[in-house]
Amino acid sequence: MKGWSCSRRASPRLEPYAPKGSRTVPRGEDGRKAILLPDYMIEHFGLESLVTYQLEPVSATTRVVNPAARTLASQIKSKAAQLSRRRAEYGAGELAGPLEVKVAEAYQSRQVQLRQTIEALEKEVATLKQQRRETPSHLTLGELPPAERFQQFSRAKKHLVDTIKMVAYRAETALAMSLRQHMARTDDARALLREIFLTAADLCPDETAGTLTVNLHHLSNACSDQLATKMAEELNATETIFPGTKRKMIFKLVSD
């Protein structure tokens, strides 16, 4: 069967190959740009999903952002925006129409009020900036008031599960690289693998022969079946032993 290639039926691209800013693009699969790892693993492996809602305490020596400094920064930003608008209003003010006493007095009164508002805002901003300079930007968790302290989601289980997901992703990558050399549309390799993983299969242990046969049911079309058969041949060549037993694993389609 060596040397043949098979083109699957036309279908929408299922993998996020479109470039996105500031994202790491892993390489190594035939020298081509690989899938954007974060997007693909979030979608198909649930990399960022929570494993448990169990909480655990955070060390009292952990440095965190000072809530008071964050509040001051927010207030400064708000007052500075108000000051900028008032200055723009003050600079844009001008007398329009015939020069009359009432019009001139109203203009002068408005400009005086704006000037007073600007001076008051400038003082507020200066005071807030001085307070920010005197306020540490970070504190240890133990230095925060009890009401401001927090806990974090338990990380031990998540680290273990994420490691398993990474191992699964690497295994899928190895299978995809093997399939691509037999496919005209190489970008469909992972889509085919996902179809295989979701297809029903029969497990047939044979104690006499010392084997565990995995009979995969037929896929959506004959081309996919041919590719699955080729992958099964390559897996059988590894003579993998099922963990915890002495049985050699054999992969094939039910009709083989």
Q: Is residue 70 in a domain? A: yes
Lowest mean pLDDT among 3-7, 99-103, 161-165, 202-206: 3-7
pLDDT tens-digit profile of 194-250? 999 999 999 999 999 999 999 999 998 999 999 999 999 999 999 999 999 999 999
pLDDT for res 51 = 57
Q: Is residue 170 in a domain? A: no
DSSP track, 16-61: --S--TT----EEETTEE---HHHHHHHHT-TTS-S---EEEPPTT
Q: Is residue 82 in a domain? A: yes
* Contact (CB, 8 A) for 36 and 20: yes
Residue 112 structural domain: 59-149
Q: Is the domain of 208 the same as that of 133?
A: no
pLDDT tens-digit profile of 126-170? 999 999 999 999 989 888 888 888 777 666 677 777 788 888 889
Q: How many domains does the chain have?
A: 2
Backbone angles phi, psi at 109, to 5 degrees: -65, -45
Backbone angles phi, psi at 32, to 5 degrees: -90, 165
Q: Is residue 73 in a domain? A: yes
Q: Is residue 8 in a domain? A: no
DSSP track, 212-249: EEEEEPP-SSHHHHHHHHHHHHHHHHTTPBPTTSSPEE
pLDDT for res 10 = 41
Q: Is residue 227 in a domain? A: yes
Q: Is residue 179 in a domain? A: no
